Structure 1
Amino acid sequence: MITESGIALDISCDNTPRQQVIGGTQAALNEFATLLMAAGYEPVKLGVSGAWHTRLMEDGVQAMRDYLAGLDIASPEHQVSDERNSKKRGRSVNYQRKSLITLNSYGEMD
């Protein structure tokens, strides 16, 4: 449907056959949302701060590479917990999650 529309959009995430996340300029997204609604779909605007997985980021790729090249990136100095090494210790990921306090985008605790 995107290809047929000719609108400059990118599939940012292919979740399921009936659920894809698309990105592009606001004008392109608005135009495509109109087509989706006309076809009986219900587009949902996601609360994200940028079109990170789209061609709109291409201009920043080299600048990011240059910046990262100047950083001293090394292996972690401390044990990193993840699902694999938690299972080795007989603990689930949920055990780890319970011990973390997270903040949502409004600075409130989740």
Structure 2
Amino acid sequence: MSKLSRIEMLQSFAEQEPENPFNWYALALEHQNSSPEKAASLFHKLLNEHKGYLPTYYHAAHFFAEHGDLDLAKSVFEEGIHLAEKEKQLNTLRELKNSYQNFLFENDLDG
């Protein structure tokens, strides 16, 4: 299956089930390397319209950090940590906290 057909398939799923955050999430991940602008738009959509979809936060924070938006990355990590604590998702919480600490250290930021 070619990359384009996979993206087209995911786009179709997202359009058919716009209320399902996984479809938008999968599409954002697929676009990260080939179309960063589209990925950024999709991550923003997820963070605004599907705030409770926890998997978004880890990947979105890393994406924004890699693309130089450190303030946004920091706030996405913090929102994800808060959501994981609230939902008692301990594995995700641990992953987010570890990544956040690495992010702060690598970018010489204070938590």
Q: Same fold (TM over 0.5)?
A: no
TM-score by length of 1: 0.26
More strand by proportion, 1 or 2? 1
Q: Larger RCO: Structure 1 or Structure 2 (Cα < 8 Å, ≥ 6 residues apart)?
A: 1
| Pair member with larger Rg | 1
